[in-house]
Amino acid sequence: MNKSKKKKRGVFRFGFRAAIYISLISAVFVFLLMWLGYNFTAKDAGSVSALIGGVIFLTSYAVIYFVTHNRIDTIERLFKNMARKRFMEYENVTSTHNDEVDYLVKQGIKSSRTIEREIQRLNRIENYRKEFIGDISHELKTPIFAIQGFIETLLNGALEDEEVNRDFLKKAMRNVNRLIYLTKDLMEISKLETGELKSEIEEIYLYEVLHDIIESLNYKAEKENIELVIHNFDKNIKVRADKNQVKQVLINLVENGIKYNMPNGKVEVNVFTKPKQSERVFVSVKDTGIGIDEKDIPRVTERFFRVDKSRSRERGGTGLGLAIVKHIMEAHGEKFSIESEPNKGSTFTISLRRSDPVQV
C-alpha cells in the first residue's frame, strides 16, 4: 500500500504543479482581457477569471494525469529497478503521444538494457576469473606436490641410494618442465583472451611453415613410433596470417596427433581448397588416435579439458593446447573445426586467407 501511495503521490504532484501553472496563467489572461478589454469591474473580472481558472485547473489536471500517469509510473519503476539491479521487459508506452515523457521512457528503457548487459558481462568475467583461478590451482597442485614428494624422499635418505636418486631427480625434473610449459601456456592464453597479444598479419609461404614444423617434430614422432606424413601441395601458396601464431597452431595440432595416437599410428597433414570458398586455404591434421566422443567435441577447446586425463598428464600435456588454437584462429577471423570418432582418429581443420590464386 505504501509503495502504491508513493507512486500515486508522485504522479499527483507532477499533474498538480502543471495544472496550477496552466490555470494561473489562464486566469490572469482572462482577468486582464475582461478588465481591460471588456471594461468589467476588477471584482467581476476577478470572480469570472477565478471560476474559469478553477475549471481549467481541474481539466488540465485530469488530462495530464490520464496522459502521463502510466508513463511516469514506468519511469519510476525503471530507475528503482536499476538501483536494485533488477531488470525486466517493460511495456512500450511510447507509441501514442511521442512527447518529452515518451523520450524519457525510451531513454530509461535503453539505459536499463545497457546496464543489464554490462552487469551480465561483469558477472561472466567474475565467473571466468573464479573458474580460471580454480583451474590453475588444480593444475599447479599436482606437479608441485609431486616435486615436493620426490625432494623430501631424497632428503630423507634416498639421495645416498644410487639406484633411486637419479630416477627421483629425473621425475622431479619432468614435473618442473611441466610447470614451465603450463606457465608459458597460461601466459599465452591470458594474452589471447584479453586481446593483449595482437596478430601481426603478413604474407607467408605455407609450404615453408609446414615443412619447418614437420622437420622439428619428426624426432618426437619417431620416438613415439608415429609416422608423420605431409601430402604434396603447391609450394607457392601464400596466406595472410601471423607467422609465429600459425606455427604455434600447427605445432599444437601435430603434437596433439602424436600424443593421442595409437602405437604405430600416423599423422597426416593435408592442404586443400573448397570451390565455394576460393579465397581461403584449409589445412587439416588427421591422426589415427584414440578419438573423441561426440559429446566431448564442443568441450575440447575449453581450458584444461582433457579427453584422456591420465595419459595427457603422463605425456606432459597442459590441457591448453586446443584452447590456444581456438583463440588464435578467432583472432585471425578464421575457422577451427573438429571431426572425430572414438578409436577412429580425429581431424582438426583450420582455414587461412590466401593472398594469391593457388592450385592445390
Q: How many CA atoms lie within 13 A of 159 on its CB side?
A: 7
Residue 89's closest CA among 114, 112, 72? 112
Q: What Cα–Cα distance (Å) separates residue 161 from each residue in 153, 164, 175?
A: 11, 6, 21
Contact between 135 and 303 (Cβ < 8 Å): yes
Contacts 24+ apart (CB under 8 A), 47-52: 52/26, 52/27
pLDDT tens track, the chain, 360 positions: 455 555 445 556 666 777 788 888 888 888 888 888 777 888 888 888 888 888 888 888 787 777 666 677 777 777 777 777 776 666 554 446 666 667 777 777 777 778 878 888 888 777 767 776 776 776 677 778 888 888 888 888 888 877 788 888 888 888 888 788 777 777 777 777 666 667 788 999 999 999 999 988 888 888 889 999 999 988 888 999 989 889 989 998 998 899 888 888 999 999 998 888 888 999 999 999 888 888 888 888 877 666 655 444 455 556 777 888 888 898 888 999 999 888 888 999 999 998 865 444
pLDDT in the model for residue 348: 95
pLDDT in the model for residue 1: 43
169 class by beta-carbon count within 10 Å (0-12 exposed, 13-18 middle, 19+ buried): middle
Burial call 72-96: b when 16+ CB within 10 Å, e when fewer:
bebbbbbeebbeeeebeebeebbee
Grid coordinates in use for 321? 593446447
Q: How many CA atoms lie within 13 A of 279 on its CB side?
A: 3
pLDDT in the model for residue 93: 45
The sign of the CA dihedral 197, 198, 204, 207 is: positive
**Helix crossing, 42-83 with 100-155: angle to 10°?**
20
pLDDT in the model for residue 12: 61
317 class by beta-carbon count within 10 Å (0-12 exposed, 13-18 middle, 19+ buried): buried
pLDDT in the model for residue 43: 84
Collapsing DSSP to helix, strand or coil, 239 comes out as: strand
Question: Does the pTM of the predicted model rise above 0.85?
Answer: no
